[in-house]
Structure 1
Amino acid sequence: MRLSKPSRLTLGIVTGVILAAIYLPLLVVVLNSFSTSKSLTWPPPGFTLEWWGRAFTNAGAIQATGTSLLIAVIATAIALVLGTLISLALQRFKFFGREAVNLLVILPIALPGIVTGIALNNFFRTILGVDLALWTVAVAHATFCIVTVFNNVIARLRRMGTNLEEASADLGAGVWTTFRLVTFPQLRSALLAGGLLAFALSFDEIIVTTFTAGEGVTTLPIFIMNNMLRPAQAPIIAVIAVVLIVISIVPIAIAQKLGNGVGEVKGK
C-alpha cells in the first residue's frame, strides 16, 4: 500500500507525538536520577552521582531486588514447564474442549491485574486457607507468565509441523528421545524468548503482587511505591526506576529478536 505525501506526513507527526508522550517522561526520570534536588524539581538545578551511590548501598533496595529476582526466577521456571506442556498438548493432540482450554490459558494475560489479584487473594486465603508469602506471589506471577511461554512455543510448534517427529518415531525413537533430540532443539529459541518475557513481566509486576504478598515480602516495585513520597528518597527511587527500565528493556529486546517469526509477543 502506498500513501500520499500528506498522509505520510500526518502519520509521521501522529507517531512522533505518541512516542514523545511515552518516552519523554522516561527521559525526565533518567535526568532526575542525576539531579541535586531532593524533591525532583524541574529543570534539575544541578547534576550529581550521589543518589546512584546511595541507591546501590540502600539495604532495603538491595533486599527488595533480591526478592524480586527470586520470585521472577521461580515464576519463570513454572511458566516454562507448564507453558511448554500445555503447548504440546494443545498443538499435538485433539480432544474435546481444546479450544476452551486454549482460551482459558490465554485469559489471565487479558484480565485486569486487580481482578487477578483479588481472585488469587481469595483463593489462597479462603479456599486454601494459607498465609500469603513469597511462594504465593511466585504462583500468582506464574499464572500470567505461562501465557508468554505458551504463545511463543505453540507458534513455533505450528511452524515446525510433525514431519521430523514422525520420522523419528518411524526410526524407533520413543516419545522422550524424540522430544530430547528433535522437538526440544527446535524449541530452544522460543523457550528462551518466552522465558525472558516472563522474567521481565514478573520482575516489575506490582498490582497482583500487592494482593498476594504477605507481610515482610517486599518486591522492588512495592519498595518504590512505599518510598516515593518519603523525604530525600525520591532521587534514590528515580535511580532504581532507571535500573528497572534497563532491566526491562534488555530481556524484551532479546526476546523480540529471538521471537521474530516465532509468534506474537504479548505483555501484561
Structure 2
Amino acid sequence: MLRLSLASKIVLGAIVAVILAFMYVPLMLVVLNSFNAARIVSWPVAEFSLEWWGKAFTSQPIKDAILNSLLVAAGATLIALILGTLVAFALQRYSFFGQRAVNLLVVLPIALPGIVTGVALNNTYNQILEPIGINVGFFGMIIAHGTFCIVMVFNNVLARLRRLNPGIEEASKDLGATPWQTFRLVTFPQFRSAFIAGGILAFALSFDEVYVTIFTAPPGVDTLPLWIMNQMARPNEANVVNVVATVVILASFIPVWVSQRLSRDVAERD
C-alpha cells in the first residue's frame, strides 16, 4: 500500500481544498444572493430578504420555462432510452457490414459542437421540411435534443452488455422461457442500472442544453436555460435568476444521489 509523507498529505489536501473552493464558492454566492434584498447582485450581502423567492414562485414565465424544459428533457430521454438501447443491443449481439461506421455515427453527435448541430437542424427544419408542409414545432426541439442524448444511454448500456454472462440467457432459454421472458426476467435486470443511469445523464444533458435549443426552439418558446440567458441581460432581475439557479442546484442532488446508489448496487453485485 502506498504511504504518503506528512508533507505530501498537506500539499494534496491544500490542492483539493483549492479545487473544491473554486467549484463550490461560486455556487454559494448564487445561493446567498438569492436572499439578497438589493435589486442587483452585490457582495457582501447587506440585507437578506425572501422577496425574490416570492417573485420567482409566482412568475408565470418561469413556470412555463421549467415546464418546457421538463417536457423536452423527458421526450429526449424517452427517445434516447429506446433508440440507445436498441442500437447497443444491435452492435453488441450481432456482426454486420458497417458495424464500426454505425458505432461512430451514433457517438458523433456528442462530439460535435452544439452550435454546429443547432445550425444543421435549423437549416433542415426551415429549408427542407417547412417548404414541403412539415412544421416540426416543439417536437423538433425534442428530436434535436434526442440526437445527442442517445449517446448517454448507448454508452452505458453497451458497456454493461459487454460484461454480461451469455450463459445465463442460454440457461433461461433451455428451461423453456420465451425470448420476452428471458429479456424481462434475466437480461433487463442485469443492465437495468446502466439503463437508468444513462437515462439520468440524458435528462440532465437535455435540461441544460442551450446552443441546440437556440436554433431549434419555436418562436416564443423558452426553456429554462434560455430564460436564464435572456434575464442575465437585465441586471434588476439577476436575483430572481439566482433563486431559480438555487432551486436547480438543490434539485441536482437527486440524480447525483440516485447515480451513486446505482453505482454502489452494481459494485456490490459484481
Fold shared, TM-score > 0.5 on shorter chain = yes
Inter-partner Cα distance in structure 1 for 2:6 and 2:111: 37
**Is residue 117–residue 208 contact of structure 1 (8 Å, CA) maintained in 2?**
yes
Once the two structures are TM-superposed, the CA of residue 109 in structure 1 deviates from its matched residue by 1.9
Q: Is 2:54 the counterpart of 1:53?
A: yes
Once the two structures are superposed, residues 68-90 of structure 1 have per-residue CA deviations (whole angstroms, 9 ceiling, x without a partner) of 11111111111111111111111
Residue ranges of structure 2 left out of the alignment (5+ in a row): none
Structure-2 residue corresponding to 1:41: 42
**Residue among 206, 212, 215 paired with 2:210:** 206
What SS class does the counterpart of residue 49 from structure 2 fall into? coil
Once the two structures are TM-superposed, the CA of residue 49 in structure 1 deviates from its matched residue by 1.1
Inter-partner Cα distance in structure 2 for 1:62 and 1:178: 43
Q: Is 2:170 the counterpart of 1:166?
A: yes
What SS class does the counterpart of residue 233 from structure 1 fall into? helix
Once the two structures are TM-superposed, the CA of residue 4 in structure 1 deviates from its matched residue by 4.1
Once the two structures are TM-superposed, the CA of residue 112 in structure 1 deviates from its matched residue by 1.9
- CA, structure 1 residues 25+256, in 2 after alignment: closer, same or farther (shift >3 Å)? same
Once the two structures are TM-superposed, the CA of residue 128 in structure 1 deviates from its matched residue by 3.0
Structure-2 residue corresponding to 1:153: 157
Inter-partner Cα distance in structure 2 for 1:156 and 1:2: 34
**Residue among 168, 174, 187 paired with 1:183:** 187
**Is residue 68–residue 203 contact of structure 1 (8 Å, CA) maintained in 2?**
yes
Inter-partner Cα distance in structure 2 for 1:261 and 1:123: 43
**Is residue 196–residue 252 contact of structure 1 (8 Å, CA) maintained in 2?**
no
Q: Give the number of aligned pairs.
A: 263
TM-score normalised to structure 2 length = 0.89
Structure richer in helix, relative to its length = 2
Inter-partner Cα distance in structure 1 for 2:36 and 2:113: 35
Identity %: 57
Inter-partner Cα distance in structure 1 for 2:205 and 2:251: 11
Once the two structures are TM-superposed, the CA of residue 6 in structure 1 deviates from its matched residue by 3.5
Once the two structures are TM-superposed, the CA of residue 121 in structure 1 deviates from its matched residue by 1.7
Runs of 4+ in 1 over 6 A off after TM superposition: none
Q: Is 2:257 the counterpart of 1:253?
A: yes
Structure-2 residue corresponding to 1:109: 110
Q: Is 2:250 the counterpart of 1:240?
A: no
What SS class does the counterpart of residue 163 from structure 2 fall into? helix
- Aligned pairs for 1:4-43 within 5 A: 4-43=5-44
Structure-1 residue corresponding to 2:76: 75
- CA, structure 1 residues 127+257, in 2 after alignment: closer, same or farther (shift >3 Å)? farther
One-letter amino acid of the structure 2 residue matched with residue 183 of structure 1 = T
- CA, structure 1 residues 158+51, in 2 after alignment: closer, same or farther (shift >3 Å)? same
Inter-partner Cα distance in structure 2 for 1:70 and 1:144: 16
Once the two structures are TM-superposed, the CA of residue 2 in structure 1 deviates from its matched residue by 4.2
Once the two structures are TM-superposed, the CA of residue 92 in structure 1 deviates from its matched residue by 1.3
Residue ranges of structure 1 left out of the alignment (5+ in a row): 264-268
Structure-1 residue corresponding to 2:120: 119
Inter-partner Cα distance in structure 1 for 2:20 and 2:206: 25
- Between stretches 122-131 and 216-225, larger displacement belongs to 122-131
- CA, structure 1 residues 100+117, in 2 after alignment: closer, same or farther (shift >3 Å)? same
Q: Is 2:227 the counterpart of 1:226?
A: no
Structure-2 residue corresponding to 1:100: 101
**Is residue 193–residue 256 contact of structure 1 (8 Å, CA) maintained in 2?**
no
- CA, structure 1 residues 191+136, in 2 after alignment: closer, same or farther (shift >3 Å)? same
One-letter amino acid of the structure 2 residue matched with residue 189 of structure 1 = S
Once the two structures are superposed, residues 140-170 of structure 1 have per-residue CA deviations (whole angstroms, 9 ceiling, x without a partner) of 1111211111122112212222111112222
What SS class does the counterpart of residue 128 from structure 1 fall into? helix
Inter-partner Cα distance in structure 2 for 1:4 and 1:110: 41
Q: Is 2:137 the counterpart of 1:136?
A: no
- CA, structure 1 residues 22+89, in 2 after alignment: closer, same or farther (shift >3 Å)? same
**Is residue 81–residue 195 contact of structure 2 (8 Å, CA) maintained in 1?**
yes
Inter-partner Cα distance in structure 2 for 1:144 and 1:248: 20
Inter-partner Cα distance in structure 2 for 1:60 and 1:201: 22
